[in-house]
Structure 1
């Protein structure tokens, strides 16, 4: 014996209606059965628990992404600190007579560095790729653009 039912009329988006029709025909069930199952799923008490589970998974994924991001920032900071320390230790101060020429050369070198950095950020290879290549034993020198 069939459960008592109530007829309702609703308007739904045309795209959603096509998706409903496609799902019904592919599963070989009626559109009513699909709509009833969707409503029952939405209106059951465990709906909030399912939403919480979805949100928890999403937050876990975001947390892992933030952990990776934190690692990359820390790596960048440490690499930069090592470079600055090395540069300060190994670069003697310039005499006043050579300072103007050094500043002009430094400006040209800075512009070349920024251009190279821009190309590298657009096309690669990235430092993480080079590090993993070095770690895996491929110590071939990367091409510099």
Structure 2
């Protein structure tokens, strides 16, 4: 029984690629198109696509979870600092307030400059702090340390 025949229009780029692939021995254009259509129409192709989408969504979900954690830590840090600062800082006498406000504006300007530089450089202070506080692998005990205990 003869195979059904179809006529289709494809782009020149696809035609060139098909023509190149068909130059290999034992491969015909019809076989390539038949295999490509079978793969495209296969339910397994949908499963592969779905699996790829699920992997990407899982990756996005993990990133969102990390961002949520970082935002929570940042908000809690800021809240604790504000509470501590407001608790330990006594109110200024009226005669010192103008000078203190001027100094505060100057310090705040410096703070904003430093913040702008850090954001422009892409360096994260929290990442630097973690790098400084998380121990290196060489600082952990190894098996030999445990075998010598009690000897």
Distance 1:11 1:80, change over 3 A: same
2:105 corresponds to 1:82: no
Counterparts of 2:88 and 2:18, CA distance in 1: 70
Distance 1:31 1:118, change over 3 A: farther
Counterparts of 1:103 and 1:125, CA distance in 2: 30
CA RMSD after TM alignment: 2.9
Provide TM-score, normalisation by structure 2.
Answer: 0.71
Distance 1:88 1:53, change over 3 A: same
2:19 corresponds to 1:9: no
2:50 aligned residue: 52
**Larger Rg, first or second structure (1 or 2):** 2
Provide TM-score, normalisation by structure 1.
Answer: 0.73
Moved beyond 6 Å, runs of 4+: none
Paired residues, what number? Answer: 135
Q: List alignment gaps of at least 5 residues for structure 2.
A: 137-151
SS of 2:43's equivalent? coil
Q: Which one has more relative contact order, counting CA pairs under 8 Å at least 6 apart?
A: 1
Q: List alignment gaps of at least 5 residues for structure 1.
A: 139-145
